[in-house]
Amino acid sequence: MKFLFSNVAYNRAAAYALRQAVFVEERGIPADVEFDQKDNDERLYVVAYEQPDLPVATLRLEPEAHHVMRFGRVCTRKRYRGQGIGQQLLTKAEVWAQGHGYTQGLIHGEVTAQSFYERCGYTVQAGPYDEDGAPVVVMQKTF
């Protein structure tokens, strides 16, 4: 598995394709809600590739104030779930963030994914509340 941290066009396209499949097609989130102003040419995405042309998981890096890195739009292709790829992706992103001076990770995760994030060391700080039509909790972890 290769993990690429990049804003190059093909990596952004891979991240967008995964999000289209998972959030828009599978979860029913409207495309104009899923893809927002944070999706731009400068934004860094982490994409896990099983093969050079097969992206299987992604997340969006969203720097916040006070050394906090928000990990957004975390998703794994359906047939690759349950294999630890999401946890590997998040761990790689945390290490990258720590190496760039961030000391905390922040996730606004759907309640359905709360136990996954708890297994990754995150704790609920707020919620649940509605975000984009789904119940969400705010979770945080100190590195």
- The whole-number average pLDDT for the span 43-52 is 96
The phi and psi torsions of 99 (rounded to 5 degrees) equal -65, -15
Is the predicted pLDDT of residue 126 greater than 80, yes or no?
yes
Is the predicted pLDDT of residue 133 greater than 80, yes or no?
no
The pLDDT of residue 65 is 85
Domain residue ranges in the chain: 2-142
The pLDDT of residue 63 is 97
* Class of the domain covering 2-142: alpha beta
Provide the edge-to-edge strand list for the sheet that holds 54-63: 2-6, 45-51, 54-63, 68-76, 104-110, 134-142, 123-131
3-state helix, strand, coil in the chain (%, to 5): 35, 40, 25
For the entire predicted model, the pTM comes to 0.93
Distances (CA, A) of 12 to 17, 37, 126: 9, 14, 30
pLDDT tens digits, 54-89: 999 999 999 998 899 999 999 999 999 999 999 999
Is the predicted pLDDT of residue 131 greater than 90, yes or no?
no
Q: Measured between alpha carbons, how far is 71 from 45 in angstroms, rounded to an integer?
A: 10
Give every CB contact of residue 106 below 8 A, 6+ residues apart in sequence.
Answer: 64, 68, 69, 70, 71, 138, 139, 140
pLDDT tens digits, 82-121: 999 999 999 999 999 999 999 999 999 999 999 999 999 9
pLDDT tens digits, 14-38: 999 999 999 999 999 999 999 999 9
The pLDDT of residue 134 is 83
